[in-house]
Amino acid sequence: MTEASTSAASGRRASRGRIDKRQAILEAAFTVFAREGYANACVKVIAAEAGVAKPTVYNHLSDKANLFRHAIEAASDTAMAQNLAVVGRLATPGDDLRAALEDVGDRLLLCYSSDESWALRRLIYAESARFPDLLDVVRGGGPTNRVTEALADRLARLALDGRLRLSDPAQAAEQYIALLTGPMEERSRFGTEQVPADEQRRLVRAAVHTFLQAFGTGAADSAGSANAQGIVKGS
C-alpha cells in the first residue's frame, strides 16, 4: 500500500469515527433529555452516557441548546423515516382496501406509541415555549407534516383509481391519523400507561371503519364492514 492510500484510508477512518462519535452523543443526549428534561439535563451526564469526554460534546455541538436541537432533529428524522416507510405500503394496497388501511394503521400506531416517540412528543410539549421552532423540526422542516403529505398523496391516488371518495386528500389524511392517534393518547395517558396489543388493534379497526364510512365507495370496503361494526360496538 502506498503512502497516499494509507493516508486516505486513515482519513476515512477518522471521518467515520467522528460521525459515529457524534451519533453516540446525539443518542445519549436524547436519552438524558427525555429522562431529565432540558433544564435538569447536564452535559457532563450526557458525555458519560455517550462514553466521551465533556469537551468532546462541546467540540461537536458547541453548547447545550444546540445539542438539544440536534438531538431532537436526529430522533425526529428516525421517526419520520419509519412513518414514511409505513405510508409507502399504500402504494400497492392490493384488492382489500380495508385490510391495507388497517395494516398501515397498525404499523403507524406501533411507530407512534414506541417509547422513543412518546419521549420525543413529551419533550416537544414541555420545551416548545423555550424552542418555538421544534414543531417545524418534527414536521420535517416545513409548515405541514411530511407524513401527512405522503399519506395525502397515497389517498389521492386511491381516489383517482375510484377506491375512495374525497375532495380534499390532505384533510382526509389528517383525519385518518387523528382517528388513530387521538384515542391512543387518551388511553395511554400520553404514553405513561401500557395499552394492550389487542386494544390497539381494536382502535385501528374502529378508526379505519369510521374513515371508510366517510370516504369509502361502499364497494371495495364492504366485505369487512359487518365485522368492523361488531368490533366498534364491542370496543
For 114-156, write each residue's pLDDT tens digit: 999 999 989 998 998 999 888 877 776 554 588 999 999 999 9
Cα 100 to its chain centre, rounded Å, is 19
Query: Quick one: 149 and 45 in the same domain?
Result: no
- Report pTM: 0.81
| Shared-domain flag, residues 88 and 201 | yes
58 and 117 belong to one structural domain = no
Q: Which three cell numbers stand for residue 168?
A: 380534499
| Residues of the chain falling short of pLDDT 70 | 1-18, 140-144, 219-235
Looking at the fold, whether 183 and 120 belong to one and the same domain comes out as: yes
User: Does residue 69 lie within any of the structural domains?
Assistant: no
Angle at the Cα of 51 from the Cα atoms of 48 and 56, rounded to 5 degrees:
85
pLDDT reported for residue 3: 52
8 A C-beta contact, residue 217 and residue 164: yes
Q: Which of the listed residues 39, 62, 85 is the one where a domain comes to its end?
A: 62
Residue 228 and residue 176 share a domain:
yes
Question: Which of 62, 90, 105 lies at the terminal end of a domain, its last residue?
Answer: 62
pLDDT for the residue numbered 19: 76
Q: Does 193 fall in a domain?
A: yes
Shared-domain flag, residues 90 and 203: yes
Residue 113 lies in a domain: yes
Distance CA 134, CA 125 (A): 9
Q: Are residues 88 and 16 in the same domain?
A: no
CATH number at residue 209: 1.10.357.10
Beta strands in the chain (DSSP E): none
Same domain, 21 and 82: no
Answer yes or no: is 71 within a domain. no
| Total domains in the fold of the chain | 2
DSSP, res 168: -
Q: Which three cell numbers stand for residue 56?
A: 468532546
Cα–Cα separations (whole angstroms), residue 154 to 213, 216, 229:
18, 14, 25
pLDDT for the residue numbered 2:
55
Domain containing 11: what range?
A: 1-62
pLDDT for res 225: 47
pLDDT value, residue 133: 84
